[in-house]
Structure 1
Amino acid sequence: MYTFLLQSNSIPNEILSLHHMSMASLWCLLISVIVAFGVSFGFTVLILWLVFITHKIKFNVTDATLTQFNFTNNDTQLQYNLGIYFTIRNPNERVGIYYDTIEATAMYKDQNFDTRLLTPFYQTPKTTSLLRGRFEGQRAVVIGNNKVSELNSEKLAGVYSIDVKFRLSLRLKFGIYKIIRVRPKVECGFQVPLNFTGTSSFPWFQDAIGCHVDY
């Protein structure tokens, strides 16, 4: 009777041991798959990032209109109406770009006088997109003493030096995957004549003006 009991108890122990070994093997396999996937995904992201930063997006200002740019109240209030046209070039052959946020800030003599959000869009590889920004309104500005002479000279000439800075939030699309969020900054500087008719300032933009892109 005792022998029978010992033999009957030994079978479940063997099965339990095999079960533990199988579970351990499955866990090892699962961990190996996760690690391999993580390494592969990380390597893919790194390659995509290197490709993107070596083929930067290209910003160019192609035209601008300035129909109002009046200083009042001892040059502390600015009334303005500025329109800019610019292109964005995606030079990458396989990387699409989602422009989720396009924040444009217009500046004069280091003073921010307006900020606008432009419409988000998706840009396919190897394409150029034409966009337009409009800044209109009135804003209090403080021109530094070292910039007053430049302001007076530009008033006489009727041509103003404007800076527009962009803050972007992008997602890169590779195949069916949308990976990596990038937040580049773009700075554009140009001169534009005051023209009440709002017609193109073509002589000033006969050649597109390139902007500086910084990641």
Structure 2
Amino acid sequence: MCLRSFRCSFCYIFVILFTLFLCFIISIFLFWIIISPSSVKFQVTNASLTQFNLTNNNTILNYKFKVKITARNPNNNMVVYYRRITAYAWYKDMNFVAVNLAPFDQGHKNTTLLQEAVFEGQSSIRLGPKQIVEYNMERSVGIFNDLAVDLDVTIRAKFGRFNSIRFNSQFVKCRRLRVPLISNGKPVATFNVRRCSSPYFFQDRDDEG
């Protein structure tokens, strides 16, 4: 009799705990659906080159590349805390340098201009014969067509009283930038604003299977 009573009590406790756990999971799922945060929108508002030339038999790239990027938080009740921002510069799908940008906090319905990314120095680079031909054509015209900037961001988000832990957001990709080369203090063309790709900004990339 005692054993049966013990088993009944255990089953009753197990059912209660399982129900509470299930309710907790469902509440988190519903909470996230209700929030359904829209991704932060990034765009490159200006970019320029004052130096971009190959030396040492086309194996060393000398550069001074400046980029201005804005971030738009479209959410009504979401605050985003940017705790780490690393900007990577690419040419012909080859990463040649990275710089750290200043962290900041962004309120809801807010557009923020990030610290200007200044890439300056020299790096080794390996371009194929076709890419070198493209580089020479672009340099003769004064516009480089295949530059890109990616942002590697660590953030924390706040919705009402709910605070997330820090996580690594999906990469923000600003690709296929047509950047004018400044010659004699003047660019040969104007830079056209370019939108960046950030469709899953609030998804932790480290949770991907």
TM above 0.5, one fold? yes
Residue type of the partner of 1:192? V
Deviation at 1:86, TM superposition (A): 1.1
Counterparts of 1:166-205 in structure 2, within 5 Å, are 166-179=151-164, 181=167, 183-188=169-174, 189-195=176-182, 204-205=190-191
Q: Which residue of 1 aligns with 2:203?
A: none
Deviation at 1:177, TM superposition (A): 1.7
Q: CA-to-partner distance for each residue in 1:140-195, whole Å, 9 max, x for gaps?
A: 00112221221110121122121111222222210122126461222213112221
The separation in 2 between residues aligned to 1:179 and 1:64, in whole angstroms, is: 33
CA change 1:35–1:187 in 2 (3 A) is closer
Deviation at 1:116, TM superposition (A): 1.4
Partner residue of 2:48 out of 65, 71, 89: 65
The separation in 1 between residues aligned to 2:117 and 2:124, in whole angstroms, is: 21
Q: CA-to-partner distance for each residue in 1:51-96, whole Å, 9 max, x for gaps?
A: 22xx221111111221111210111101111111111101111111
TM value normalised by structure 1: 0.75
Structure number with larger C-alpha Rg = 1
Counterparts of 1:98-117 in structure 2, within 5 Å, are 98-117=81-100
Q: Which residue of 2 aligns with 1:13?
A: none
Structure 2 unaligned blocks of 5 or more = 1-10, 201-209
The separation in 1 between residues aligned to 2:134 and 2:15, in whole angstroms, is: 71
The structure that is helix-richer by fraction is 1
Q: Which residue of 2 aligns with 1:96?
A: 79
Asked if 2 retains the 8 angstrom alpha-carbon contact of 1:67 and 1:197, the reply is: no
Which one is further off, 150-159 or 25-34?
25-34
CA change 1:77–1:36 in 2 (3 A) is same
Structure 1 unaligned blocks of 5 or more = 1-23
Percentage of pairs with the same residue: 36
Residue type of the partner of 1:47? I
CA change 1:167–1:67 in 2 (3 A) is same
The separation in 2 between residues aligned to 1:103 and 1:202, in whole angstroms, is: 29
Asked if 2 retains the 8 angstrom alpha-carbon contact of 1:169 and 1:184, the reply is: no
The separation in 1 between residues aligned to 2:113 and 2:197, in whole angstroms, is: 17
SS class of match (1:150): helix
Deviation at 1:208, TM superposition (A): 2.0
The separation in 1 between residues aligned to 2:185 and 2:83, in whole angstroms, is: 30
The separation in 2 between residues aligned to 1:73 and 1:182, in whole angstroms, is: 38
Deviation at 1:109, TM superposition (A): 1.1
Deviation at 1:100, TM superposition (A): 2.2
The separation in 2 between residues aligned to 1:198 and 1:105, in whole angstroms, is: 26
Counterparts of 1:30-45 in structure 2, within 5 Å, are 36-45=23-32
Q: Which residue of 1 aligns with 2:123?
A: 139
Q: Which residue of 2 aligns with 1:14?
A: none
TM value normalised by structure 2: 0.77
CA change 1:45–1:111 in 2 (3 A) is same
Residue type of the partner of 1:165? D
C-alpha RMSD over aligned residues: 3.2
Residue type of the partner of 1:118? L
Partner residue of 2:58 out of 49, 53, 75: 75
Deviation at 1:27, TM superposition (A): 9.5
